[in-house]
Structure 1
Amino acid sequence: MEVLQRAGIGVSEAYQAARQLQDVYDASALSPGQAVHLRFGGSYQDRRLRRLKLRASAETNAAVVRTDEGGFAARTTKRDLKRRVHAAEGTIRSSLFAAGRRHEVPPKLMITVIRKLSYLVDFQRDLREGDGFEVLYATDTGPDGKRARVGPLLYASVERRGEQLEMYRFDAEGTGVTYFNSEGKSVRRLLMRTPLNGARISSGYGMREHPMLGYSRMHEGVDFAASRGTPIYAAGDGVVRYAGRNGGYGNYVKLDHRDPFTTAYGHMQRVADGVRPGAHVNQGEVIGYVGNTGRSTGPHLHYEILKHGEPVNPRSLDLPTGYELTGQELKAFKQRVAEIDRMRERRGEPTRVAQASCGEAESKPENAC
């Protein structure tokens, strides 16, 4: 409404137009710099609003137009988008993210690639200079020739010690799982190997000389050095068994997952709000923050995976997949894999994804993703 008043439209008329716009578009979603097109009466002196138009989403425009009765009516129209599939392929020099950016893959998509592949790849240890990667993704372009939307990511692969690790996008009904290997197994694993971002391994699993006690003893987890306050994520879906102070572990959380796995997290700065015994948590949900509590020489996370109650090495454990396609769903997935593989071969050919609607349709557009 403030935008309309600054354009010289009266308070009452601006209020009516804004109220009608709310039926098809949430005006609070307007962002700085977003264009709002206004059309007034036939002469310069006539400041009566005839039409307001803005882009509501990548797929739709929203408009408010004056009716013959003098009021306003709102409508949406579909934008004519063209989809283009892009492919990037190359070798890794310093990091996978840098390699993707060198081939102009948008940062948002490279972050998606890294997050999804992190279930399969230890980016600190597995990837070496010269390893290959491939990414296939889509972008949508509007009638003005400008990029309207980036994504989705359709395919990605990296080379790990001579082995190619692939993932294909496929929307499995009711699971929320969208990336699978070529056999139809989810790339998402039951547990995350590294339940925080931006960390380095400061101490591995196995026998070591304890940095504070001065003698050798078994280190039953992996230590990740990270900045104080770095969010710690639940390694998998589960139930909180313990949350609170626990001797030398300091602030500590223990989670029960699908049998036979349990995970533990020590030396937290604090436990996240709502994380208490009996509470359910989802994979990737913040359960605490990196700290230096308990018997600790600096900010880090002590992370343990237990199988049948016995600690195991998180870095070498063969974790089960979170979901595996079967039956008709697997058949549909195989067809989608063939389609994506054909796109990998074609590359760069535009495909129309939404037709312009010249009518007064007010129905929501289909999701072009």
Structure 2
Amino acid sequence: MNPIQKITTASLSRLTHTSRKTRVVGAGALALALCAFGAVATAPITQDDSNVQVVSVAENLALPNLSDQIAALQQDEQQFIHEERVRPGDSIGTMLGRLGVNDAQAQNFIRTDKLARRILSLKNGKRLQAETDENGQLLSLRATLTDKDSAPTTLTIARHGDGFKASEAPAKLERRVEMRSREITSASLYSATDANVDGGSIPDSVVNEIVQMFSTNIDFRGDLKRGDRFNVVYETFWLDGELVKTGRILAGEFINRGTSHQAVWFEDPVTRQGGYYSLDGKSLKKAFLKSPLEFSRVSSGFSNRVHPISGQWKAHKGIDYAAATGTPIRAAGDGTVESIGVSGGYGNMIVIKHWSNYSTAYAHMSRFGSGLRKGAKVSQGQVIGYVGSTGWSTGAHLHYEFRVAGVARDPNGLKNLMAAPLSNGEMARFKMAAAEMNHRFSLMTPGGNAMAAR
């Protein structure tokens, strides 16, 4: 006979009069039997339990010695963490007091150590965190220092032997991605960005970048009209719940007079160089700057002229920009340093190789930019040197050449040249990034979810 079929009502009744522990075991066994063998539920249950044998199992369990555990815990040094925010009129004494610190040596160190004293410059509302022992002796004190002219840092004062030591390290910022959508209700773009329609205004730095991104397609002084709208996705960086700085615009869309303009930031993971592209992968950046100097005047164009030193009539294969000695020279486009050093009458000279067969040359420099060498990567706008008068030169200026396959060309004839197109591999990665940003745009369209996403 199957052992499962020996379970009877009488045996169940007998089991229910045993201890609570036994009842639980019996009920569990029945439940397992019912789940595992469905036939038991339909078989008739008889009163015959003469063949059922009940076995009791007992086990001695050792209880933990709680008194020993409590004694061991009491022997361990207890540490406590306290957190407070700076209040108006706080001194170092009152701040430490609220933090549970009762340590005259710590107070004296903070007052006398040059780095530790920066704790005293914290503004109201800034957070401090202290770690103390059970007697209120300071083990460590931490605070975040923020300065408009430098990145935020974390100041740590920690017990070190019989004294204390102060140290400073870059603060770890929390990166968030913000989404904002606005409709133009007046002729001013900035008035629309101040509207508190989704929990906060858009920082001016983001607005300025929006103007720069779309300025080649939209005249923001005359083309805006009521009903235009824009969507923007950008980075923000936070510390202790406070906005520290805004980062890069990751994507932007501007609908002007019914025409939509989009831009998506894409950065190559290998070269770490990036730029803005339309959703179909076309670069929105010009391949080369109009001028490698920010403020200058053209003293000699791309044409034939009388050489100022030899006095002979000959072709001038570049453009001369007159500027004061030391004026920063910017790379006209992304590329690699092909050569750097003294080059005869050109004096101190750098040649940069760009995509395809384009290259640019910069001569008569007073000195080169720091860290530059042959083979170094440079990005458009990066300072590569400074104006001078080295080589065959009669005064401080930059001689700038634009070359195609090694032949000098007039850069003004190629001013509309677009940046290098994406490779097949880059295009595949870009399409994934663009699809995500296009989805975000759809969430911010009227009727979508235009709230900030963090």
Asked if Structure 1 and Structure 2 have the same fold, meaning a TM-score greater than 0.5 normalized by the shorter chain, the answer is yes
Match of 2:420 in 1: 321
Give the structure-1-normalised TM-score.
0.57
Residue 351 (structure 1) aligned with residue 449 (structure 2):
no
**Gap change, CA 1:100 and 1:321, over 3 Å in 2:** farther
- Tell me if the contact between 2:92 and 2:120 (Cα under 8 Å) persists in the aligned partners: no
Hey, what does 1:333 align to over in structure 2? 433
Asked if 1:280 corresponds to 2:372, the answer is no
Which stretches in structure 1 are left out of the alignment for 5+ residues? Answer: 15-26, 66-75, 94-98, 354-369
Q: 1:257 to 1:243 in 2, by over 3 A?
A: farther
- Partner secondary structure for residue 222 of structure 2: coil
Distance of 1:223 and 1:92 partners within structure 2 = 41
* Cα distance in 2 between the residues matched to 1:81 and 1:206: 49
CA displacement 1:29-50 (0-9 Å, x = unmatched): 9996463425698xxxx85459
Counterpart of 1:237 (choices 335, 349, 370) is 335
Name the CA shift for 1:173/1:30 in 2 (closer, same or farther; >3 Å).
farther
Residue in structure 1 matching 2:180, options 85, 94, 115: 85
Corresponding letter in the other structure for 1:303: Y
- TM-score where L is the length of structure 2: 0.49
Deviation of 1:215 after TM superposition, in Å, equals: 8.9
Output one character per residue of 1:274-301: Cα deviation in whole Å (capped at 9) or x when no partner.
Answer: 545x443422453311224456576443
**How many Å separate the matches in 2 of 1:208 and 1:31?**
67
Q: Does 1:130 align with 2:228?
A: no
1:85 maps to amino acid: R
Q: 1:302 to 1:114 in 2, by over 3 A?
A: farther
Higher RCO structure (Cα 8 Å, ≥6 apart): 1
1:270: how far off? 2.0
Conserved 8 A contact 1:269-1:290: yes
Q: CA contact under 8 A between 1:155 and 1:168: conserved in structure 2?
A: yes
Kindly report which structure 2 residues correspond to 1:96-245, keeping only aligned pairs within 5 A, or say none. 106=203, 108-109=205-206, 130=222, 136-138=232-234, 147-156=243-252, 166-170=262-266, 173-176=269-272, 177=274, 179-187=276-284, 191-194=287-290, 196=292, 198-202=294-298, 206-207=302-303, 212=308, 218-234=315-331, 235-245=333-343
How far did residue 308 of structure 1 move?
A: 1.2
Structure with larger Rg:
2
What SS is found at the alignment partner of 2:452? strand
The DSSP-based 3-state class of the residue aligned with 2:445 is: helix
Distance 2:284 2:338 in 1: 25
> 1:168·1:180 contact (CA, 8 Å) conserved in 2?
yes
Please give the root-mean-square deviation of Cα atoms over the aligned residues, in Å: 5.8
Q: Secondary structure at the match of 2:289?
A: coil
State the Cα deviation string for residues 66-114 of structure 1 (Å, max 9, x = none). xxxxxxxxxx999897945255869999xxxxx7799676454467568
1:323 aligned partner, one-letter code: L
**1:306 positional shift:** 0.5
Contact persistence 2:144–2:155 (CA under 8 A): yes
- Residue type of the partner of 2:420? T
Quick one: distance in 2 between partners of 1:230 and 1:311? 24
Question: Once the 2 structures are TM-superposed, how far is the Cα of residue 155 of structure 1 from its aligned partner?
Answer: 3.4
Q: Provide the secondary structure at the position in 1 that maps to 2:411.
A: coil
Provide the residue aligned with 1:37 in structure 2.
128
Q: CA deviation at 1:147?
A: 3.5
**AA in 1 matched with 2:451:** P
Matches within 5 A, 1:247-286: 247=345, 249-273=346-370, 275=372, 278-284=374-380, 285-286=382-383
Q: Which residue of 2 aligns with 1:24?
A: none
Runs of 5+ in structure 2 lacking a partner?
1-90, 108-115, 159-170, 195-201
Cα distance between partner residues in 2 of 1:315 and 1:165: 27
The one-letter code of the counterpart of 1:315 is N
